[in-house]
Copies of this chain bind each other. A is one copy, B any other.
């Protein structure tokens, strides 16, 4: 069979990426292929394969004969990715508006984001997953798989930041409100309005997150410093 087994390289890829997402590897941290290989009990070969993939995806950089580095947070680039997301999702809602009939997924999303009571709302960490689904489901509904793929890549890339978006109750409130409003505009076949609301929603999400990212990052760095000094 040509069905891919799960390779060691894949495991390394997932592990290192998760380390970055969970701030076990902080932006700016340096490390070597040997380090990673030893920690995951494997040779440098699959490690390199995984790291080069992460490099192409923008998470790490290789310094010639001088180790690897987790890419420092570049707020300019993050802003551009948010902006690109807006463009893609706006294109999406216009596509949805042009469809002969509304895709079923809109009803499903409505059920999630317009709950009968506040009690039925999701909490904490699941809100982030639901939020990601909302946006990627919309894009997927437009039917262009390549667009979905690019959108997914961008979403992943922003996840390091977006994980901080739902620690505040007011952000959860806003998300429910804004998602519902976007769905309403779509149901009423007003793509221009949906596009406008979408842009505003993503912008405010970006702004809210930017505000707390640096602080949380500083905390993570502090934690790590204490771990090292106590060892």
CB A127 to nearest CB in B, in angstroms, measures 26
- Copies of this protein in the complex: 2
Q: Tell me what chain A mostly uses at the interface: helix, strand, loop, or mixed.
A: helix
Asked if A144 is at the interface of the complex by the 8 Å CB criterion, the answer is yes
Interface flags for A64-86 (1: CB within 8 Å of B; 0: not) read 10100000000001001101100
Nearest CB to that of A53 among chain B residues? B56
- Chain B residues in 8 Å Cβ range of A5: 64
Whether the Cβ atoms of B2 and A77 lie closer than 8 Å is no
Whether the Cβ atoms of B145 and A80 lie closer than 8 Å is yes
Complex CA–CA separation, A67 to B81 (angstroms): 36
Whether the Cβ atoms of B64 and A3 lie closer than 8 Å is yes
Complex CA–CA separation, A90 to B1 (angstroms): 43
Asked if A87 is at the interface of the complex by the 8 Å CB criterion, the answer is yes
- Chain B residues in 8 Å Cβ range of A144: 80, 83-84
- Chain B residues in 8 Å Cβ range of A3: 64
- Chain B residues in 8 Å Cβ range of A81: 146
CB A144 to nearest CB in B, in angstroms, measures 5
Whether the Cβ atoms of B52 and A84 lie closer than 8 Å is no
Complex CA–CA separation, A3 to B53 (angstroms): 20
CB A52 to nearest CB in B, in angstroms, measures 6
Given the known A-B contacts A49-B52, A52-B52, A91-B87, are A2 and B63 also in contact in the complex, defined by CB atoms under 8 Å? yes
**6 shortest A-B CB distances, which residue pairs?**
A87-B91, A80-B146, A2-B63, A80-B144, A84-B147, A84-B146
Would you mind naming 23 contact pairs between A and B with Cβ atoms under 8 Å apart?
A1-B64, A2-B63, A2-B66, A3-B64, A5-B64, A48-B49, A52-B53, A53-B56, A77-B145, A80-B146, A80-B147, A83-B146, A83-B147, A84-B144, A84-B146, A84-B147, A84-B150, A87-B88, A87-B91, A88-B91, A90-B91, A91-B91, A150-B150
